[in-house]
Structure 1
Amino acid sequence: MTVADVYREFGVREARDVSPAYERLARHVASDNDLLDRLAALPAPKRQPNLLFAVVRLLGGPVTDPAGFRAFALDRWDEIAAQLLVRATQTNEVGRTAALLPVLAALPQPLALIDVGASAGLCLFPDRYAYRYGTRTVGAGAPLLDCAATGFTPPERLPRVAWRAGLDLNPLDVTDPDHVAWLDALIWPEHTHRRDRLRQAVEVARADPPHLVRGDAVTDLPALAAQAPPGATLVIYHTSMAYQLPDPQAFVDVVRALPARWVAVEGPALVGAELPAPPSPALHNVLTLDGEPFAWVRGHGESLTWFGRNIH
C-alpha cells in the first residue's frame, strides 16, 4: 500500500462521517506529491494520518483548511518530521472503555487490570466513569461516555477494581501540561465532546495517579503481571494498540502464557477467525475475550454491535 493509499483509506474508512476536516485533509495529502514525497522518506509507522495531523495541531498549524495545512507543512517540514519521529499516536480514548465494560463486568470480581499501551492510563478507570448505552445509564461518575449498543443488554453495574497498572514504551504523565497537550492534539478537530471528556478523565487520573511502567509489551509484561495481587482476576487488555507492534504474534503468545483473561479491541487481522460482516463499510475493530470475538466496535467506542454469545 502506498502512502497515498493510506491517506485515501483513512479518509474513506475512518474520517468519513466522523471528521469532515480530516476527510478533506486526507484526500488532499493523498493527491499532493510534495507532501507524499516527504512522508515517504519517513519510517512507515511515522507516516500515519492521525500522527501527522496531530503534530501539525500541536505546533499550531491549521487542519481545517487543506491549502493552509499544505503551506504550513512545507514551510516547517523539518520541525514536523522531528516531532513525527519522537511521537506516537497515544490517543488514550476513554470512550473505548464503553466497549470493554460489558466484558469486564461479566468476569469474576474483583479485577486486577493491566492496560498494555496505556499512554496516560486513562483507560485504567472503567469503574470511575459513567456509561450511556441508548436509554440505559451505568455508573454515576464523569465523564459520561455514550455508546450506541446493538444486540446486547448493557451490564447493570460497574466492575470492582482491586489493582490497576499500565505498560507503555513512553507513558504520559497526567500531571504534565505538555503531555496533556499532546493528548488534546490527538483529538480530531470537530470532537469537542471528546475534548471535554478528556479533561474530565484527566481529573480522575490526577486524583489517583495510575501505576504506569515504562516497558515493552512483549518482554516486560510478565514481570508486571506478577505484581498483581492474589484473589483478583487478572485482566490484560489493550485497545487499538496492536498495529504499532513489530511482532503482534509474539505479544499474543506472551499474553496467552500468563494466568490472565485477555480482552482486546483491535483490528480484525488480530482475531484470526471468521467474522460476520461489519455493520457498515466504516472502519470497525473487534472486541474479543481470550481470543473469542464478540462485537464490532467503532474506533472511538461510539458504537458496539454484538454478534457473539451472551457472556452475562
Structure 2
Amino acid sequence: MYGETTSEWYRWFGEFEARGNSSRYELWALGIASDPELLSLIDRLPPEKRQPNLVLTAARFLGVGEVSFAEFRAWVLAHWDALAQVILTHRTQTNEVGRTAVLLPLLAQLPGPLALIEVGASAGLCLYPDRFSYRYDERTALDPADGVSDVTVRCVTTGKPPIPDRLPEVVWRAGVDLNPLDVTNDDQMRWLESLIWPGQPDRLQRLRAAIEIAKREPPNITIGDLNETVAHLVSSAPTDATVVVFHSAVLAYLTNEDRAHFEQTIRSLPCHWISNEACTVIASVADQLPTPPAETPGRFAVALDGVPLAYATPHGQHLDWFRHQPPRTTTR
C-alpha cells in the first residue's frame, strides 16, 4: 500500500492521506519524498519509526511551526538529534474521536447494554461513543440523554447507513495498549494534541473536549500486548452485557502473523468484533470488499464480525455504506 521505499511512503502519505486534509502535511511529506538528505536521515531510524505521521508529529511536538518546506527542512537538519530521540521514544497514538461516527451504526445493530473493549486504545477516548453528539450529513442529530455534548462529531454519508435514533447504552469500558496515555498527564496530552494535523482546529477543540470527558471517568486501560490480553479483558466484562471488541488503525502495526493470531483469537471469544482498518490490513476482510483495495487508496474498511459493511475515511469524516442487508447480529 505504501510502496517499498521511504520516498514512496512519504509520497503516498502526501497524495492520499494528507491531501484534502492538511495542506501543510501534504507539502512537507511530498518535499521529504524528493529530498535525498532528509530521506537518508529518516532511513537511519528503525523501519517502524519512519512513518510520516510519527516523524511530522515529533517535529511539531518539539516546536516547528506551520512553515514552508524550506524552513521545515532547515529546522529538521538543525534539530535532528533531538527529533530522532522523540521519534524513538514515542508512538503514533492518534486518539481520533471522529472515528466513533463510523463505528456507531455498527454498535447500534447490537443488543444492549454494551461492554466496550478497545485494543490499541491510546488514551481511551473512543470508549465514550455514548457521551458524544453526532451530526450526520447535517440532517440527522444524535445527542446524549442529558443534552448536547461538548464533543460534536460530524460525518458525511453515502449508501444509507443504519444510523440509530438513539445512542447505545454502555455499561463497561476497558482497553489495552502497549503504552497507554494518561488523560491526567499534561505532557502526554500535549503529545496527543501534536498528533492533530496542522490546519485542523476543529479536531483539536474536539480532542480537548473529549479529554475533559475522560478525566471525569478515567478509562480502565491495561498495559500490554493485544494478543496477550484480549481474552482476559473479554472474560472480565459483565456477563449481562454484549461484549464488543473494536479497533481503528491498529492492526497495520502488527506483523502478518500477529494479525492472523488476533483474528483467530477474536473469532473464538464470546464477543462481537468491529474493525476499522485500511483496506489491505485484514486479508479476510479485503477479500470480501466490493472494490479491490488497490482502487481504494486512503480508505478504511469497516467490518462487523469480519464482514465488511462500509468504507470510511481514516478520521471518520466520511462513511460510504455498501452492504444493504446488515449481517445477522445475535448475541455471541
Common topology (TM > 0.5) = yes
Following the alignment from structure 2 to structure 1, what is the Cα–Cα distance between the partners of residues 22 and 225?
32
Distance 1:96 1:233, change over 3 A: same
Structure 2 residue aligned with 1:188: 197
Secondary structure of the 1:188 match is coil
Q: 1:162 aligned to 135, 150, 171, which one?
A: 171
Structure 2 residue aligned with 1:255: 266
Instruction: Tell me which moved more, 265-274 or 168-177.
Output: 265-274
Contact 1:278 1:284 (8 Å CA) reproduced: no
The TM-score, its normalising length taken from structure 2, stands at 0.91
2:217 maps to a residue whose letter is D
The count of corresponding residues between Structure 1 and Structure 2 is 312
1:257 maps to a residue whose letter is S
Confirm or deny that 1:211 pairs with 2:214.
no
Structure 2 residue aligned with 1:48: 51
Confirm or deny that 1:142 pairs with 2:150.
yes
The TM-score, its normalising length taken from structure 1, stands at 0.97
Instruction: Tell me which moved more, 116-125 or 272-281.
Output: 272-281
Confirm or deny that 1:61 pairs with 2:64.
yes
Contact 1:168 1:217 (8 Å CA) reproduced: yes
1:59 maps to a residue whose letter is L
Q: What is the CA RMSD across the aligned residues, in angstroms? A: 1.5
1:6 maps to a residue whose letter is W
- Residue by residue, what CA displacement relative to the aligned partner does 1:183-202 show, whole Å, maximum 9, x if unpaired? 10000010000000001100
Deviation at 1:282, TM superposition (A): 4.9
| Identical-pair percentage | 46
Following the alignment from structure 2 to structure 1, what is the Cα–Cα distance between the partners of residues 203 and 325?
30
Contact 1:58 1:185 (8 Å CA) reproduced: yes
Secondary structure of the 1:294 match is strand
Distance 1:284 1:196, change over 3 A: same
Following the alignment from structure 1 to structure 2, what is the Cα–Cα distance between the partners of residues 188 and 282?
19
Instruction: Tell me which moved more, 186-195 or 221-230.
Output: 221-230
Contact 2:288 2:308 (8 Å CA) reproduced: no
Secondary structure of the 1:174 match is coil
Q: 2:5 aligned to 2, 7, 28, which one?
A: 2
2:191 maps to a residue whose letter is W
Deviation at 1:86, TM superposition (A): 1.4
Following the alignment from structure 1 to structure 2, what is the Cα–Cα distance between the partners of residues 28 and 252?
38
- Residue by residue, what CA displacement relative to the aligned partner does 1:77-99 show, whole Å, maximum 9, x if unpaired? 11111111111110010000000
Secondary structure of the 1:226 match is helix
Deviation at 1:281, TM superposition (A): 5.5
Q: 1:80 aligned to 79, 83, 90, which one?
A: 83
Instruction: Tell me which moved more, 28-37 or 270-279.
Output: 270-279
